[in-house]
Amino acid sequence: MFYREAGDFKTSYSADSATFPILFDRYRYYLVLIVGAGIIPFVLNDYWANSILIPFLIYAIAAMGLNILTGYCGQVSLGTGGFMAVGAYTSYKLMTAFPGLDMISVTLLSGLMTAMVGLAFGLPSLRIKGFYLAVATLAAQFFLVWLFNKVGWFYNYSASGQISAPTRDFFYFTNIAVTGPSAESWAKYLFCFMFVFVLAWVARNLTRGSMGRQWMAIRDMDIAAEIIGVNPLKAKLTAFAVSSFYVGISGALLFTVYLGAVEVGEAYGITKSFLVLFMIIIGGLGSIFGSFAGAAFMVILPVFLRNFLTGTMNWDSALATHFEFVIVGGLIMFFLIVEPHGLARLWALVKDKLRLWPFPH
Amino acid sequence: MPEQLVFAMEVTLNGLMTGVMYSLVALGFVLIFKASGIFNYAQGVMALFAAMTLVGIQDGRVPFSHVINAIFGTHIYDFGWEVPALLAILLTVIVMIIFALLVQRFVFKHLVGQEPIILFMATIGLAYFLEGVSDLMWGSEIRNMDVGLPQGINDWIDVTTLEIFGYGFFIDNLDLAATLIAAILVMGLIAYSQYTKNGRAMRAVADDHQAALSVGISLNYVWILVWSLAGIVALVAGVMWGSKSGVQFSLSLIALKALPVLMLGGFTSIPGAIVGGMIIGVGEALFEFAIGPMIGGATENWFAYVLALLFLVFRPQGLFGEKIIERV
């Protein structure tokens, strides 16, 4: 009824190619921004921030990153956990070596470092394709985790081998801590929200620009793309670099803002790679919205199951965890069979229906 | 003979044995990949599932007892009998065949004709699902596997090498048994695919789906067959690994090592899986022995993957794989 383009006349090319061409969509987007940045920080409590909102925002960044590589460029990666670890350890080294550095610079620099590491591991993708590449990225996963575990320099030779985030500021002279034990939930939340907003905006525009079209050409058929003039070297390596940048930022935030102290094998192991992969499969391959939907789903599902099974049904927690495995695995197969494009596609179908509602013909 | 060289020989031999164990898992991958083009990530978890089922049946545990107890508030755990090893193995084989039927019926039947990468991701989902199911079914405690395989140091090798080199090699009887069983299994599989009707059908499907279909071979039947065979291979691998290091979750991670093995050997070649396994086994053992202490040890976590990665850059189809030809 409200959701249609009729009567919404575009008078310029830029209006015509806007991200949200339908007025209702645009207002909804502004509403999400206002609620996300203007209302939630004031009503936020620690439980919601720490168990749902902050992990959701952080994983959404990782999911966007992996979606750029896997969903848009078609290169399956199982090394996400390893790249997240690169971000985390870079931010740790920066925070301890330069105590005056603010968190925004630290996080961005961590992303850049990860992008460079990602480039190095992306080079084989020029020769190796498909699941050969997926297995090759496992090399990155295991090697990086081993490296951070064994080389003392990375964790400043601490006895436990763990790294823990010291207290650091949001930005210069602001005096708002976003890391360390004294940081407040709303500051952490807003810090992550800001990164998510900017990165999502960049990702959305990258993927519909010429670079994104090159990635998609490579994904759909790399030889044909090469013939029509897409440079596979450039397309694949930019995808790896941009993707790793996102994943690195996500890994850095996961360590500095969310967890505070990590042990690399536990926090950035192979299970993390799969978690992010599942997010984009369930959310939708090749969709920015899908990254958010998938991240939300995979963050909320365990919390919900744990509350439901252990709280309401009185199961013990080990049993609930196993049940979670069954559900997640089942859902992955279900989505791949029924809707390979995930939640994002379902959402698009709903929107198409809504355009005609209540007069479907 | 210098001492270091003797040590290196022992390490090589042990690496060779470990490599055979990797090959056992890799075999299951090759079987499924050849016949259906599915790169079955769940093979490792299938080994875990088979091993847990075997131990569970042997001990006479009630399947899903934890779930039943949690829902109905009962306290049942055991049937109170013990099943002899051979019968338990037979029952586990039946379970694996039922599993193959279900997987084909409910998952891969609906995914025919999808891109390989979608199939691959579906098997990752299957791996998670199966892992959850096996934990729900049999509990997640570490179990000891005992099906009567010999264990412990092989005295004969110890004594003989002591006479020749002045240093007794430590070779586990279990590894020797595993090598022997792997050899029998491979020969059995080759014979099966060469000389039986089903085996020929399998090879036909591996060659060309359409052509196989047109001469009256049921794809569905062949796929169930290869999944069953892969299940049986998984059982063998699960028994070997389980006897070696207990039946536990890490079993499915060890099985991940089969992936670089396959990349080295090529996805479509049974001899490739064996040779690849041995290269990886020996390579990682020697690397850990020679270079590991210098850079902090535990290099076997990643060595196999990096070796496979470097190798693939030069030969993308693996050692024995068919040449990859791409057309637009």
B114 at interface of A, judged by CB pairs closer than 8 A: yes
Range among A143-152, B32-41, B79-88, B198-207 with highest mean pLDDT value: A143-152
Query: Residue A132 and residue B316: Cβ atoms within 8 Å?
Result: yes
The residue ranking higher by pLDDT, B310 or A210, is: A210
A268 Rama class: left (phi>0) / alpha (psi -120 to 50) / beta: alpha
ipTM for the complex shown: 0.83
The count of domains in chain B is 1
Indicate whether B85 belongs to any domain: yes
B305 with A316: Cβ contact below 8 A: no
Closest partner residue to A315 (CB to CB) among B70, B107, B297 is B70
List b or e across A28-60, with b for residues whose CB sees 16 or more CB atoms inside 10 angstroms. eeeeeeeebeeebbeebeeeebebebbbbbbbb
Q: Do B313 and A325 touch (CB under 8 A)?
A: no
Residue B62 lies in a domain: yes
Handedness of CA B316, B321, B327, B328 (dihedral sign): negative
- Residue A268: pLDDT over 90: yes
Residue at B125 is within a domain: yes
- pLDDT tens figures, B144-174: 777 777 777 777 777 787 777 777 777 788 8
Q: Are A250 and A173 in contact (CB under 8 A)?
A: no
Residues of A in contact with B259 (CB under 8 A): 135, 138
Complete domains list, chain A, with CATH: 45-356 (1.10.3470)
Burial of A172 (0-12, 13-18, 19+ CB in 10 A): exposed
CA distance B150 to chain A (A): 33
Shortest Cα–Cα distance, A322 to chain B (Å): 5
Q: Residue B46 region, left (φ>0) first, then alpha (ψ -120 to 50), else beta? A: alpha
**Distance between CA atoms of residues B242 and B151, nearest Å:** 12
Q: Is residue B306 part of a domain?
A: no
Answer whether A143 sits within 8 Å of B306, measured CB to CB. yes
The confidence band for A93, taking pLDDT boundaries of 50, 70 and 90, is very high
Q: Do A138 and B135 touch (CB under 8 A)?
A: no
| A134/B263 CB distance under 8 A | no
Distance between alpha carbon B147 and the CA centroid of its chain, in Å?
Answer: 18
Task: Specify if B98 maps to a domain.
Answer: yes
User: Is residue B310 assigned to a domain?
Assistant: no
Compute CA A287 distance to the chain's CA centroid, rounded to the nearest angstrom.
12
Q: Is B140 inside a domain boundary?
A: yes
Q: Among A111-115, A355-359, B123-127, B222-226, whose mean pLDDT is lowest?
A: A355-359
Q: With beta carbons under 8 A apart, name residues in chain B contacting A336.
A: 111, 114, 118, 121-122, 125
* Residues of chain A positioned with their CB less than 8 A from the CB of B107: 333, 337
Contact between B30 and B268 under an 8 Å Cβ cutoff? The reply is yes
- The CA–CA distances, whole Å, from B173 to B13, B185, B202, B244 equal 13, 18, 35, 10
Cα Rg of chain B, angstroms: 21
Those residues with Cβ within 8 angstroms of residue A89's Cβ, 6 or more apart along the chain or in another chain? A148, A154, A155, A163, A264
User: A interface mutation test: which of B22, B129, B133 has the most A CBs within 10 A?
Assistant: B129
pLDDT in tens, B202-258: 888 888 888 888 999 988 899 899 999 999 999 998 888 888 777 777 777 776 788
Chain B residue whose CA is closest to A225? B328
pLDDT category of residue B1 using cuts at 50, 70 and 90: low
* Of A135, A319, A323, Cβ closest to residue B308: A135
Domain containing B169: what range? 27-265
8 A C-beta contact, residue A231 and residue A219:
no
pTM of the prediction?
0.88
Per the domain annotation, does B113 fall within a domain?
yes
Centroid of chain to Cα A245: 11
Pairs of residues, one from chain A and one from chain B, whose beta carbons lie less than 8 Å apart: 146
Spatial contact of A170 and A191, defined as CB atoms under 8 Å apart:
yes
B263 — contact with chain A (CB < 8 Å)? yes
- In chain B, the residue whose alpha carbon lies closest to the alpha carbon of A135 is B259
Would the pLDDT of B289 be above 90? no
pLDDT of residue A190: 92
